[in-house]
């Protein structure tokens, strides 16, 4: 028995020796688009290793390209680079994730048990898919012959392309969940590209395409919604508003939906292909951190300054915050500039002065080679860069989405050197509002 106790004691001591106790000026939680960008900015401004990045993944994905992966234009490998290659070298990368945060004590504990004391913190952990919220969905996604896919994950978006190729007619259904999601235009983009592919492969005449969305409108900005309704009419896509996926029955190829006005009102639809945009939520550690989040688990920050509403040394960026903007990479590009200067002010005991205007952009792919480039700020006000009506479908916008934006992302934004197109806008479209 004594030997057994000694063995347990030795294991405890070894585990304690492996636990790190770290100090830093700035802790960035999350190494995705927002975290990497912010870390790059402050790694240049602060002393070496003054910035710690807490990020568990070895891979970094440019997620806006997942739609084109699902449509067969790109491959998953085109969207991926190693985290080590994009995270700033002057920052310390701890390959781990947050388990708890004590904002009063300025302490984060990690999943592996490490303890990080910080002076300032930027939370940039994004959103994660909540597949379990829909019974039958995970099973269907993992079955290669189910006809069920999603472009919202690198492990599944190539399955969407496979399903498009295998589709020979019948019912094709595309969904939008009753939660906040990343890139809210993507659920309909893949529907438009699917319709184009079915036309190209001569199965469109044998197909019925349905887009079921929880929203009461097709898009949140009226100018672009009006243009998209024309696209839907031209492509003969059925749109059901306030209609949410509740359950997938892969053995029967059935999808059960409810109506948001009356959740007891359910409809069962047969499918040959089902593209699901899964419900999403913030990571579990935020969900548990009631001191710093709203009832839905989103970090509560001032929507203009991005500073936490209770703890001035806490800032947030990207999808995990409660700012009422579209959750897109374009929003992060604009937010990172505001956050940089406001956090620097906080470090110098000054009040945050810059304001984020809610800028977001959504390149709405309507066909292979065509795109509506939606740009807008808070309250759904269009805020366009190019000197023509961006609600018109254009080839230029398509190739910007396909080629230019990924180049800007990898070569400028993640290095903290791109803050959105405002400087371009002032040059080529100076009279725009």
| CA–CA distance, 115 with 97 (Å, rounded to integer) | 11
Which one, of 149, 153, 224, 130, lies nearest residue 185 by Cα?
224
Question: Two tokens at 244?
Answer: 């949410």
Is 336 an active-site residue? no
In sequence order, the 6+-apart residues with CB closer than 8 A to the CB of 140 are 146, 148, 248, 250, 274
Question: Exposed, middle or buried by CB within 10 Å (0-12, 13-18, 19+), for 80?
Answer: middle
Which one, of 366, 358, 183, 350, lies nearest residue 277 by Cα?
183
Is 371 an active-site residue? no
Q: CA dist 145 to 75, 274, 373, Å? A: 20, 12, 35
Q: Which residue has the tokens 């579990």?
A: 284
Question: Two tokens at 80?
Answer: 């991926």
Q: Which of 183, 214, 320, 371 is catalytic?
A: 183
Count of helices and strands (H, E) across the chain? 14, 22
| CA–CA distance, 342 with 117 (Å, rounded to integer) | 21
Instruction: Yes or no: say if 163 and 271 are a contact pair by the CB < 8 Å rule.
Output: no
Q: Which of 320, 336, 362, 371 is catalytic?
A: 362
**Which residues are marked as active site?**
183, 362
């Amino acid at each position: 028995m004594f030997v057994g106790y000694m063995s347990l004691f030795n294991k405890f001591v070894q585990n304690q020796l492996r636990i790190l106790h770290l100090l830093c000026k700035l802790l960035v939680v999350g190494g995705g688009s927002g975290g990497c960008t912010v870390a790059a900015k402050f790694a240049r401004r602060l002393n070496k290793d003054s910035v710690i990045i807490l990020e568990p993944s070895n891979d970094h994905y440019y997620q806006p390209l997942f739609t084109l992966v699902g449509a067969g234009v790109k491959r998953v490998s085109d969207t991926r680079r190693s985290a080590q290659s994009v995270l700033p070298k002057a920052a310390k990368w701890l390959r781990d994730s947050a388990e708890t945060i004590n904002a009063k004590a300025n302490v984060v504990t990690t999943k592996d048990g490490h303890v990080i004391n910080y002076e300032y913190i930027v939370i940039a952990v994004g959103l994660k898919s909540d597949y379990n919220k829909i019974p039958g969905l995970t099973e269907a996604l993992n079955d290669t012959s189910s006809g069920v896919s999603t472009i919202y994950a690198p492990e599944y978006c190539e399955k969407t392309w496979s399903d498009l190729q295998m589709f020979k007619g019948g019912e094709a259904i595309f969904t939008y969940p009753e939660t906040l999601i990343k890139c809210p235009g993507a659920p309909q983009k893949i529907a438009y590209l699917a319709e184009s592919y079915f036309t190209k492969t001569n199965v469109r005449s044998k197909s019925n395409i349905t887009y079921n969305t929880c929203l009461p409108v097709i898009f949140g900005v009226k100018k672009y919604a009006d243009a998209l309704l024309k696209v839907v009419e031209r492509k003969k896509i059925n749109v059901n508003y306030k209609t949410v996926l509740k359950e997938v029955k892969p053995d029967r190829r059935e999808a059960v939906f409810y109506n948001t006005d009356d959740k007891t009102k359910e409809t069962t639809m047969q499918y040959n292909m089902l593209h699901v945009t899964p419900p999403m939520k913030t990571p579990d550690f935020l969900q548990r951190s009631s001191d710093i989040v709203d009832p839905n688990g989103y970090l509560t920050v001032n929507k203009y300054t991005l500073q936490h509403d209770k703890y001035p040394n806490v800032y947030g960026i990207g999808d995990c915050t409660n700012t009422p903007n579209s959750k897109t990479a374009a929003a992060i590009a604009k937010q990172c500039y505001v956050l940089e200067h406001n956090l620097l002010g906080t470090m110098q005991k000054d009040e945050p002065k810059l304001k984020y205007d809610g800028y977001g952009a959504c390149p709405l792919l309507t066909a292979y080679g065509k795109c509506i480039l939606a740009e807008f700020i808070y309250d759904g006000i269009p805020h366009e860069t190019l000197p023509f009506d961006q609600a018109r479908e254009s080839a230029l916008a398509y190739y910007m989405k396909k080629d230019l934006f990924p180049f800007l992302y990898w070569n400028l934004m993640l290095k903290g050197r791109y803050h959105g197109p405002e400087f371009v806008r002032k040059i080529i479209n100076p009279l725009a509002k």
